[in-house]
């Protein structure tokens, strides 16, 4: 099960910087992110949401490969595998893109929008679903950006420990 942690930061680029650090920590197997979303609230204008996974592109690429394979096999039966490959690939990409566009997993988009509207102008927020982590090493990496915990799915005692660890100067 993953835990949701929402942090906000001073500056509109800080959440992106922290997400980059978390991805690097993920490559070192210190954190396993299920999903991550950056929300930016500029001084002027609407809240901007940046999903870490482009579901439309992911669906299109998966649909292209599946459609091309199936189209090639059907084309082979009809003695024209190249045409089947092309038609199947195009159809698969279109269906995959549509499926990716309509699907949603991870952090609920309405929740992101609603909470994103509450952050101060000129700041950014980072929504992360964490499957597992090595807290002391992760906290040491992001602490310098002074994250403020907005919301978590952690127990009250776990959330308090996290807040304390992020606020301590040691």
Considering only residues 62 and 100, tell me which one the structure prediction assigns the higher pLDDT: 62
Q: 39 and 65, same structural domain?
A: no
Report the percent of the chain where pLDDT is more than 70.
Answer: 80
Q: 59 and 82, same structural domain?
A: yes
Q: 60 and 36, same structural domain?
A: no
Q: What does the pLDDT read at residue 8?
A: 93
Range of the domain at 89: 55-102
Q: 40 and 65, same structural domain?
A: no
Count structural domains, the chain: 2
Q: What does the pLDDT read at residue 139?
A: 92
Would you place residue 59 in the very low, low, confident or very high pLDDT band (cuts 50, 70, 90)? low
Taking residues 128-150, report their average pLDDT.
Answer: 92
Domain-located, residue 14: yes
List strands edge to edge, sheet with 123-133. 48-51, 31-41, 123-133, 3-10, 148-152
CATH of the domain at 121: 3.30.70.260
What angle do helix axes 81-102 and 55-77 make, rounded to 10 degrees? Answer: 150
Would you place residue 144 in the very low, low, confident or very high pLDDT band (cuts 50, 70, 90)? very high
Domain-located, residue 17: yes
Number of H helices, E strands in the chain: 6, 5
């Amino acid at each position: 099960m993953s835990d949701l942690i929402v942090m906000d930061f001073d500056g509109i680029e800080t959440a992106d910087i922290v997400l980059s650090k978390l991805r690097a920590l993920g490559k070192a197997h210190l954190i396993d992110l299920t999903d991550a979303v950056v929300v930016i609230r500029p001084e002027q204008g609407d809240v901007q949401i940046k999903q870490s996974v482009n579901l439309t592109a992911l669906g299109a690429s998966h649909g292209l490969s599946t459609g091309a394979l199936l189209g090639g096999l059907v084309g082979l039966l009809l003695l024209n595998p190249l045409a089947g490959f092309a038609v199947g690939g195009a159809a698969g990409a279109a269906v995959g893109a549509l499926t990716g566009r309509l699907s949603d997993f991870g952090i609920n988009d309405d929740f992101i929008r609603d909470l994103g509207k509450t952050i101060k102008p000129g700041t950014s927020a980072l929504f992360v679903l964490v499957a597992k982590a090595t807290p002391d090493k992760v906290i040491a990496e992001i602490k310098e950006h002074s994250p403020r915990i907005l919301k978590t799915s952690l127990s009250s005692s776990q959330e308090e420990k996290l807040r304390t660890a992020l606020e301590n100067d040691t």
